[in-house]
Amino acid sequence: MATLLSAEQMKQNSRAPGEVEVSAPTAWPLVLAFGFTLVFAGLLTSASVSVLGAVLALAGCVGWFREVFPHEHEEVVPVVLREVSIATKRRVVERLPVATEQVRAWLPLETYPISAGVKGGLAGSVAMAVLACAYGLLRTGSIWYPINLLGAVVYAPSEVPSAAQFNSFHPIIFFIALILHIVTSILVGLLYGAMLPMFARHPIVLGGLIAPVLWSGLLYSIMNILNPVLGSHIDWVWFMASQFAFGIVAGLVVMRQSRVPTRENLPFVLRVGIEAPGLMPPRENGEKRP
C-alpha cells in the first residue's frame, strides 16, 4: 500500500522536521540573464550596451558563484503542521465477489502456432497458382497469362504489353511474379497465423471464407493503384475462386498441425521465460492448462 505519512506518524517520527531548508532567494540569476541579454542587445543598439551587459554578466557569475560556494545559501522555513484529508468525495460502492461459475471471457487453452499459418500460406500459394494457371489455359491457352499479369506491376501504364507478349514466357517477369506470389503468400499466412487464436475452433472458416472475402474486397478497392495492368485485365470471378482455393487449402493444412498451449493467462515472468519456482502449482493427474 502507499505509505504517505499520516500526521500521527509524522509526530512519532523523530526525523520529521520542524523546519525545512530550501534554496534562498537570489537576484544573481536575474542579473546574469539580464547581462547576457544586454551583451546581445548591444549588437542591435550600441557597443556600450554590450559592455554594460558584460559587466552585469560578470557580476552575475561572481554573485551566483558566491551563492553556492563554499556553502549553498539556504533559508530555513518553519513547518506548520496541518492535517489535510485525503479521502474520496465520491460515493463508496460495495464490491460484490464474482461468482466462480460466472466468467468474463472464455479463452482457449490451446491454439495453432503462427508457423501453422505460414505453412498454410505456402500450401495455399500452390493451390492458388494451379487454379490461376488453369484459368490461363482456359482463357488464352497459355499458363503464362496470369503470371505475366501479376508481374505487370513493374510496367508503367503507358507500357502495357501486347496480347501476344502476355501469353509468352518472360524470365524476368516470371521471377518478379514468383517473388511477389511467395512473399505475399507468406505474409498473408503470417497474418492468418496471428489471427488464428481468435478463431481457434474453426480455422477453416477464417481461412476459407472470411479471409478470402476480406482480402478480395481490399484488393478490389486498390488493385488499380497497385497494379493497373492487372486491374484492367482481371476476371474477378476467377480471382475470388483462387482466393477461396488459397484459403481452403491453407485452412486444411493448419488443421493438420498440432496445437500449442496459449500463453495469455500465464504470468508475465513465465511468458518471458524467467524461471520462477512457486508461481504455478504442479500439475496433478495430467491436468491440462496453459
Partner 1 sequence: MSSDAIAVQTAGVSADRTWLQTLHEWVTTVDHKRLGVLYVFYALIFLVIGGIEATIIRIQLMRAHNDFVSPQVFNRMFTLHGTTMIFFVIMPFMFGFANYLVPLMIGARDMAFPRLNAFSFWLTALGGTLLYFSIVGGSGLYGAGSAPDVGWWAYAPLTSRAFSPGHSADYWTIAVLVSGFGSIGTAVNLVATVLSMRCPGMKLSRMPLFAWLTLVMSGLVLISISPLSAAQIMLLVDRYLGGHFFDTQAGGSATLWMHFFWIFGHPEVYILVIPAFAFASEIIPVFSRKPIFGYPVMVGATVSIGFVSISVWAHHMFTIGMTSYSNSFFVLTTMIIAVPTGIKIFNWLGTMWGGKLQFKTPMLFCIGFLFQFLIAGLTGIMLGAAPFNWQLSGSYFVVAHFHYMIVGAILFCIFGAIYYWYPKITGRMLNESLGKLHFWLFVIGFHLTFDVMHVPGILGMPRRIYTYEPGRGWDTLNMIITIGAFIQGIAILLFLANLVFSYFGGSKAGNDPWDGWTLEWSVSSPPPVYNFASIPAVASRRPLWDLKHPEDPDTHYD
Contact residues: partner 1, CB under 8 A: 1-7, 10, 13, 15-17, 20, 22-30, 32-34, 36-37, 40-41, 43-45, 64, 67-68, 77-90, 92, 95
- CA dist 189 and 257 (Å) reads 14
The distance of closest approach from Cβ of residue 24 to partner 1 in the complex, given in angstroms and rounded to an integer, is 8
In the bound state with partner 1, the residue whose beta carbon lies nearer, of 19 and 110, is 19
DSSP string, 180-239: HHHHHHHHHHHHHHHHGGGGTT-HHHIIIIIHHHHHHHHHHHHHHHH-HHHHHH--HHHH
In whole angstroms, how far apart are CA 82 and each of 76, 78, 93?
Answer: 18, 13, 29
In the bound state with partner 1, the residue whose beta carbon lies nearer, of 45 and 232, is 45
The distance of closest approach from Cβ of residue 43 to partner 1 in the complex, given in angstroms and rounded to an integer, is 6
In the bound state with partner 1, the residue whose beta carbon lies nearer, of 105 and 163, is 105
In the bound state with partner 1, the residue whose beta carbon lies nearer, of 5 and 137, is 5
In the bound state with partner 1, the residue whose beta carbon lies nearer, of 105 and 237, is 105
The distance of closest approach from Cβ of residue 266 to partner 1 in the complex, given in angstroms and rounded to an integer, is 17
The distance of closest approach from Cβ of residue 69 to partner 1 in the complex, given in angstroms and rounded to an integer, is 12
The distance of closest approach from Cβ of residue 289 to partner 1 in the complex, given in angstroms and rounded to an integer, is 22
SS3 147: helix
Asked if residue 262 lies in contact with residue 112, where contact means CB atoms within 8 angstroms, the answer is: no
In whole angstroms, how far apart are CA 4 and each of 8, 21, 67, 136?
Answer: 11, 21, 34, 76
